């Protein structure tokens, strides 16, 4: 199927009757995912949003439940969000990150109802990347500028129009209702050409990396990797696969709410015991954790690498600590 | 004079003569317009040191509380922070060799990004006064002086105030220029409030500003303290984000060296140095004090004089 | 979908000052709803998140045994926001409890085996649960000899003093208590846990050990000397935790989450993991 770029706004208004429509928009000089206001046009020419797509299902700050305690006892109000949602125009790396996060928020024993309720009620319209940035390395990491994994519907930009493909059953069902025109053979060929030809940096080689890292816990490599790291949370907060969080209560007297906030393995308090003992006492242990979590522990647990090659950590690191270089350095070790 | 070459030679000699164990400087970064802090421990490693218009980090961060003998390649603002830290007992001057480099200002990646519509810049050539930016389908030449960081444009201490060795020629000091702050002060309280709220809305509480600040070195920052929890941890609260910055600014009163490292580190592009510079300006006007410009000056807020202004007290 | 973040309401029925320094209290909670008592099925070694409304929640090992019906017990040191708030609670207050969380001591696997339980300081809570469980008439026959070595800095800091006296009087448990330095009136042993363990030289099939890191560090070699192989030394870890369900990402040791894959590990398992606890 196909949709002209000039018709996208109409399509989204139509979708907005039934769904909450979330799309990239320009805000405060940045491109961010936001609920589209009536008639608002999405920004679909972006390379990557500043904040990762994970925030749609796993917001930076989220009130899990509210509670009141009084003479009548305890009352709790659970804030599960079941609203049917369409995310329009998410890049393949961010879409892939949701597939990875599914592993975390639904394990063999527990289900995170907040994440999963949103997840189950959200339909993802992925948007291929015609021009990956120099910092993008998705083609290196089981993803790619036209990876359809996780998308329900997938768009390929062929200039004047998007070629639209139904990927999942959910996506196909929605497309059947929308009545878009069939794509011409020429349009399909143009899309296929883009999908085949456009590649991001594919030179980051992670083959065999997990096994190698698995034996490197005590390696002197970690002594210097972290040296220039300032210990801020920019890389982890802007990473689409980093999922660590903190749980805190915000309350006055006995009335309040349980809040979940993003947290980061780069912060000292993250692992500090009540006794003051810290199993990861410095930058060395924290960087080791960050790299091992993504490229070894996650692989061990879920058989997937917790990186999608979006390059946000590279772009946003205040000291240019480039994870591609770190991986190449590991590879170069004897 | 080739500053990079001189830096390399000086560093190599210090390391070879075992005068220092470590030279902290900059190496070429992994992206155009980026350099990266570098730690050279051998003369061979010192070969990787560079100097360019992109050496934006404040290296004073890396020389605090170090056990070994260290040399640091330091521009004017780095040295101001070092002076401040020496006075606060965070750096032992006997173990530090300052290789000062006069600096005409570092170029601002964010401004450059906007100039080219945030298209990918793949190659940059520095012609001395200009940068030639090349991307996939564009080439643009910009004057470096036009795209300096805000804090560099108003810097009065381009030439380090303290050094063991100076590489390059001293740069004449600029006149004080607080036009940006005066414009901010001229706004109504409501306008200022709205401006700050709009900026703080972007905050993601990654604390890059605090971590990049050479003077922010508290073992436990008030914002992290859990008992009592002075401030909400949620980034969704614009008020809490603003409160965090407000307390940071107050804690840096008389200590902020106006290097702009906080604003450069911020991944969200928040105009952080505005608040800090307002405080810098106030401290200068009220107490005649500037942080990190001399080892002898007493710290502004650690001294009391009868003629100190106190009309800000309620 | 069951929401693993929502606590069950429970009523504090006893806030008991356990130690002479008053820093450890034992809290007994009763279920407010009968069906919660049915659904909260736990085993010794598991923990739960205890919530003080308005303050937050924190993880504590369950000190009661599943054989003690209708209640949950926790012995809590006053260290953080939640534990301090707990210490000040009046009996009758409603709290929240979320769990049970984590794995447990492998009591099924230990059936028919003799057992040495070694505890130090206030890390005796889940060990109390285990001992109560084994000593229960319904279970005592399932297990062989039971030796318990328990030490604290001084007699006032020993937990569960009444129960220690009861156990001491029984013939089906060999209880050895020890304190660090001699005190008038003390009739038990004097000496650190590793030394006392060496003197006792337990010869049982399995050992369970729980205590401060320094005690563990010096006792493990003694156990190895006594002939315990790493697969027969069982330990419980205490990393900082928040979610308790293997998602928030802070308590991991290597690829294992202490909250979900642990807190109980054998020494053999821990030998395979990085030393980050």
List, for residues B146-170, the tens digit of each pLDDT value: 999 999 999 999 999 999 999 999 9
Q: Do C84 and B227 touch (CB under 8 A)?
A: yes
Q: Do A271 and C250 touch (CB under 8 A)?
A: yes
> Above pLDDT 90, what percent of chain C?
93
| Residues B227-271 pLDDT 10s | 788 888 888 899 999 999 999 999 999 999 999 999 999 999 999
* One-character DSSP codes across C68-116: STTEEEEEEES-SHHHHHHHTPPTT-EEEEEEEES----TTTTTT--EE
Instruction: Note the Cα B189 to chain centre separation in Å.
Output: 28
C1, C53, C277 member nearest A113 (Cβ): C1
Nearest alpha carbon to residue B97 among B49, B51, B63: B63
Instruction: Say which residue the tokens 């999405």 belong to.
Output: A42
Average pLDDT over residues C244-258: 95
Q: How many CB atoms lie within 10 A of CB C62?
A: 29
| Residues C43-57 pLDDT 10s | 999 999 999 999 999
**β-strand B70-74 against B49-50: which pairing, if any?**
unpaired
Average pLDDT of the residues of chain B:
93
Instruction: Say which residue the tokens 């080219």 belong to.
Output: B116
Q: Crossing angle, helix C161-169 and helix C125-135, to 10 degrees?
A: 30
> Residue C242's pLDDT is what?
94
Q: Which residue stretches of chain C are H helix?
A: 34-39, 81-87, 125-135, 161-169, 193-200, 213-225, 267-271
Average pLDDT of the residues of chain C:
95
Q: Do C243 and A244 touch (CB under 8 A)?
A: no
What residue ranges of chain C are covered by domains with CATH 3.40.50.80?
A: 107-236
Q: Do C255 and A300 touch (CB under 8 A)?
A: yes
Q: How many CB atoms lie within 10 A of CB A258?
A: 25
Fold of the domain built from segment(s) C8-101: Elongation Factor Tu (Ef-tu); domain 3 (2.40.30)
Distance between CA atoms of A293 and A232, rounded to whole angstroms? 17
N residues, chain A: 334
CA nearest to C56 within chain B: B226
Q: Do A78 and C242 touch (CB under 8 A)?
A: no
Task: Please tell me the distance in Å from C79's CA to the nearest CA on chain B.
Answer: 10
Average pLDDT over residues B286-311: 84
Structure tokens at B197: 């709220």
A59, A228, A318 member nearest B264 (Cβ): A318
> Residue C78's pLDDT is what?
94
> Residue B225's pLDDT is what?
86
> Residue B312's pLDDT is what?
66
Binding residues of C, by number, are 243, 248, 251, 259
Give the residue, A3 or B299, on which the prediction is more confident.
A3
**Residue B314: is its pLDDT beyond 60?**
no
> Residue B313's pLDDT is what?
65
Chain C contact probe: residue of A245, A272, A273, A279 with most C CBs at under 10 A: A279
Q: Do A274 and C79 touch (CB under 8 A)?
A: yes
A29, A135, A227 member nearest B269 (Cβ): A29
Mean pLDDT by 10 residues, chain A (334 residues): 94 94 92 91 92 97 93 89 96 97 96 97 97 94 94 96 97 94 94 94 92 95 96 97 94 86 95 90 96 97 96 97 96 90
Chain A contact probe: residue of C1, C100, C121 with most A CBs at under 10 A: C1
C2, C248, C254 member nearest A247 (Cβ): C248
> Residue B306's pLDDT is what?
77
CA atoms within 13 A on the CB side of A13: 9
Task: Please tell me the distance in Å from B154's CA to the nearest CA on chain A.
Answer: 22
- Decide if B226 touches C, using CB distance below 8 A: yes
Q: Do C3 and A80 touch (CB under 8 A)?
A: yes
Instruction: Say which residue the tokens 């990787």 belong to.
Output: B48
Residues of B in contact with C58 (CB under 8 A): none
Q: Do B36 and A319 touch (CB under 8 A)?
A: yes
| Residues C128-143 pLDDT 10s | 999 999 999 999 999 9
| Residues C202-240 pLDDT 10s | 999 999 999 988 899 999 999 999 999 999 999 999 899
Residues of C in contact with B227 (CB under 8 A): 80-81, 84
Average pLDDT over residues C180-202: 93
Residues of A in contact with C277 (CB under 8 A): 279
pLDDT band at residue B1, thresholds of 50, 70 and 90?
low
**Residue B85: is its pLDDT beyond 60?**
yes
Task: Please tell me the distance in Å from C82's CA to the nearest CA on chain B.
Answer: 10
- Decide if B67 touches C, using CB distance below 8 A: no
> Residue B144's pLDDT is what?
95
Task: Please tell me the distance in Å from B310's CA to the nearest CA on chain A.
Answer: 36
CA nearest to A312 within chain B: B267
Q: What dihedral angle (degrees, nearest 10) is formed by the CA atoms of C97, C101, C106, C108? A: 70
Chain B contact probe: residue of C54, C81, C86, C250 with most B CBs at under 10 A: C81
Q: Do A320 and B211 touch (CB under 8 A)?
A: no
Nearest alpha carbon to residue A5 among A159, A218, A191: A159
> Across the B/C interface, how many CB contacts are shorter than 8 Å?
6
What residues have CB less than 8 Å from C7, skipping those under 6 apart? C49, C51, C57, C95, C96, C97, C98
Q: Do C3 and A251 touch (CB under 8 A)?
A: no
Q: Do A251 and C240 touch (CB under 8 A)?
A: no
> Above pLDDT 70, what percent of chain B?
98
**Is the ipTM beyond the 0.85 threshold?**
yes
CA nearest to C79 within chain B: B227
Which residues of C lie inside 8 Å of A (Cβ-Cβ)?
Answer: 1-6, 9, 32, 53-57, 77, 79-80, 83, 94, 96, 213, 238-240, 242-243, 245-255, 260, 274, 276-277
What residue ranges of chain C are covered by domains with CATH 2.40.30.10?
A: 8-101
Average pLDDT over residues B196-223: 95
Q: Do A233 and B198 touch (CB under 8 A)?
A: no
| Residues C67-104 pLDDT 10s | 999 999 999 999 989 999 999 999 999 999 999 999 99
> Residue A254's pLDDT is what?
73
Average pLDDT over residues B49-60: 97
CA nearest to A48 within chain B: B118
Q: Do B226 and C81 touch (CB under 8 A)?
A: yes
pLDDT band at residue B299, thresholds of 50, 70 and 90?
confident
Q: Do B234 and A28 touch (CB under 8 A)?
A: no
Chains that contact A by 3+ CB pairs under 8 Å? B, C
Q: Is B168 left (phi over 0), alpha (psi -120 to 50) or beta?
A: left
Instruction: Note the Cα A70 to chain centre separation in Å.
Output: 40
Nearest alpha carbon to residue C118 among C240, C251, C233, C243: C233
Residues of C in contact with A258 (CB under 8 A): 5, 56-57
Distance between CA atoms of C176 and C196, rounded to whole angstroms? 9
Q: Do A105 and C6 touch (CB under 8 A)?
A: no
Fold of the domain built from segment(s) C107-236: Rossmann fold (3.40.50)
| Residues B92-141 pLDDT 10s | 999 999 999 999 999 999 999 989 988 899 999 999 999 999 998 899 99
Binding residues of C for [2Fe-2S] cluster, by number, are 243, 248, 251, 259
Residues of C in contact with A114 (CB under 8 A): 5
């Amino acid at each position: 199927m196909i949709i002209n770029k000039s018709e996208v706004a109409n399509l989204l208004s139509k979708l907005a009757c039934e769904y909450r429509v979330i799309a990239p928009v320009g805000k405060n000089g940045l491109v961010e995912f936001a609920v589209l206001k009536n008639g608002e046009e999405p920004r679909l020419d972006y390379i990557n949003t500043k904040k990762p797509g994970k925030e749609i299902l796993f917001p930076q700050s989220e009130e899990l439940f509210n509670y009141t305690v009084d003479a009548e006892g305890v009352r709790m109000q659970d804030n599960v969000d079941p609203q049917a949602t369409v995310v329009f125009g998410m890049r393949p790396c961010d879409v892939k990150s949701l597939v990875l996060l599914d592993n975390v928020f639904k394990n063999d024993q527990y289900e995170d109802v907040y994440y999963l309720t949103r997840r189950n009620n959200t339909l993802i319209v992925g948007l291929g990347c015609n021009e990956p940035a120099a910092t993008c390395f998705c083609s290196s990491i089981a993803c790619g500028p036209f990876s359809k994994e996780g998308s329900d519907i997938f768009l390929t930009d062929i200039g004047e129009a998007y070629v639209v493909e139904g990927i999942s059953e959910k996506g196909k069902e929605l497309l059947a209702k929308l009545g878009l025109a069939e794509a011409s053979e020429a349009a399909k060929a143009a899309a296929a050409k883009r999908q085949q030809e456009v590649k991001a940096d594919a030179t980051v080689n992670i083959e065999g990396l997990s096994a190698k890292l698995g034996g490197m816990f005590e390696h002197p490599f970690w002594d210097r990797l972290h040296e220039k790291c300032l210990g801020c949370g920019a890389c982890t907060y802007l990473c689409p696969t980093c999922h660590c969080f903190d749980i805190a209560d915000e309350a006055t007297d006995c009335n309040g709410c349980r809040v979940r906030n993003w947290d980061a393995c780069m912060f000292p308090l993250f692992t500090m015991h009540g006794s003051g003992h810290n199993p990861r006492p410095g930058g060395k242990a924290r960087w080791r954790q960050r790299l091992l979590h993504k490229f070894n522990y996650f692989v061990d647990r879920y058989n997937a690498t917790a990186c999608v090659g979006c390059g946000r950590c590279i772009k946003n690191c205040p000291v240019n600590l480039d994870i591609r270089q770190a991986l190449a350095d590991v590879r170069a070790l004897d | 004079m080739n500053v990079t070459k001189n830096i390399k030679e000086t560093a190599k000699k210090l390391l070879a003569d075992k005068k220092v164990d470590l030279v902290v400087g900059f190496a070429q970064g992994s992206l155009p317009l980026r350099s990266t802090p570098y730690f050279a421990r051998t003369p061979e490693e010192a070969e990787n040191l560079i100097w360019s218009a992109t050496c934006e980090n404040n290296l004073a961060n890396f020389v605090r509380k170090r056990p070994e003998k260290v040399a640091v390649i330091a521009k004017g603002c780095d040295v101001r922070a070092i002076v401040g830290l020496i006075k606060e007992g965070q750096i032992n001057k006997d173990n530090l060799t300052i290789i000062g480099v006069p600096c005409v200002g570092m170029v601002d990646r964010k401004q450059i990004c906007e100039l080219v519509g945030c298209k990918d810049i793949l190659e940059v050539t520095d012609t001395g006064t200009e940068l030639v930016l090349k991307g996939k389908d564009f080439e643009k030449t910009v004057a470096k002086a036009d795209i300096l960081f805000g804090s560099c444009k108003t810097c009065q201490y381009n030439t380090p105030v303290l050094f063991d060795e100076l590489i390059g020629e001293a740069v004449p000091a600029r006149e004080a220029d607080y036009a940006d702050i005066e414009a901010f002060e001229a706004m109504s309280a409501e306008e200022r409030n709205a401006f700050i709220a709009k900026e703080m809305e972007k905050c993601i509480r990654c604390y890059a500003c605090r971590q990049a600040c050479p003077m922010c070195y508290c073992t436990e920052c008030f914002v992290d303290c859990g008992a009592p929890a002075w401030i909400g941890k949620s980034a969704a609260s614009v008020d809490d984000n603003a409160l965090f910055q407000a307390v940071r600014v107050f804690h840096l009163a008389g200590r902020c060296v106006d290097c702009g490292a906080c604003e450069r580190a911020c991944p969200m592009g928040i105009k952080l140095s505005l608040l800090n510079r307002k405080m810098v300006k106030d401290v200068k006007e009220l107490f005649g004090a500037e942080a990190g410009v001399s080892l002898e000056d007493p710290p502004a807020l650690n001294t009391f004089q009868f003629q100190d202004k106190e009309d800000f007290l309620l | 979908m069951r929401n693993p973040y929502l606590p069950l309401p429970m009523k504090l029925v006893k806030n008991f000052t356990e130690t002479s320094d008053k820093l450890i209290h034992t809290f007994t909670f009763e279920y407010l709803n009968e069906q919660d008592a049915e659904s909260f099925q736990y085993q010794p070694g598991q923990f739960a998140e205890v919530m003080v409304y308005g303050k937050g929640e924190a993880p504590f090992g369950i000190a009661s045994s599943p054989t003690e019906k209708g209640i949950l017990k926790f012995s809590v040191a006053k260290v953080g926001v939640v534990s301090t708030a707990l210490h000040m609670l009046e009996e009758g207050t409603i709290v929240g409890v979320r769990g049970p969380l984590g794995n447990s001591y492998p009591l099924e696997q230990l059936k028919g085996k003799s057992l040495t339980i070694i505890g130090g300081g206030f890390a005796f809570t889940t060990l109390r649960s285990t001992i109560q469980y084994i000593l229960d008439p319904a279970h005592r026959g399932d297990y062989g000899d039971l030796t318990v070595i328990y030490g604290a800095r001084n007699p006032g800091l020993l937990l569960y003093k009444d129960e220690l006296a009861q156990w001491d009087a029984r013939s089906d448990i060999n209880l050895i208590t020890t304190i660090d330095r001699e005190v008038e009136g003390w009739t038990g042993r004097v000496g650190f846990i590793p030394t006392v363990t060496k003197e006792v030289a337990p010869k049982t099939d399995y050992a369970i050990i729980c205590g401060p890191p320094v005690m563990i560090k010096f006792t493990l070699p003694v156990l190895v000397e006594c002939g315990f192989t790493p697969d027969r030394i069982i330990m419980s870890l205490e990393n900082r935790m928040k979610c308790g369900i293997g998602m928030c990402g802070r308590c991991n040791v290597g690829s294992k989450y202490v909250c979900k894959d642990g807190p109980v590990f054998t020494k053999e398992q821990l030998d395979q993991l990085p030393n980050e606890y």
